[in-house]
Amino acid sequence: MEERNNGSQLEGKTTEIGGLMMQDTNGAVDFMKKTITNEPDGGIDYELSIPEDFDYKAYNEELKRGK
């Protein structure tokens, strides 16, 4: 298994997250929006890889048997 520190693709860019709606007690409907700046946080992001010949089906069966 290999681990690599790739960082976030959006670090340092501004992003607006939307899509949810809210309704106040007067019946007005508005979209909920949140703006994030994706500032570099020094966090570590991992990408895991497995060998091409890995038998996932056998591994899954072992998990089902509790091994």
The tally of domains found in the chain comes to: 1
- Write down the H helix ranges in 1-67: 56-65
pTM value?
Answer: 0.28
8 Å CB contact between 38 and 10: yes
Q: Name the residue range of residue 9's domain.
A: 2-65
**pLDDT score for 52:** 84
Q: What is the mean pLDDT of residues 24-34?
A: 76
pLDDT digits (tens, 9 = 90+) for 8-27: 555 556 666 666 677 777 87
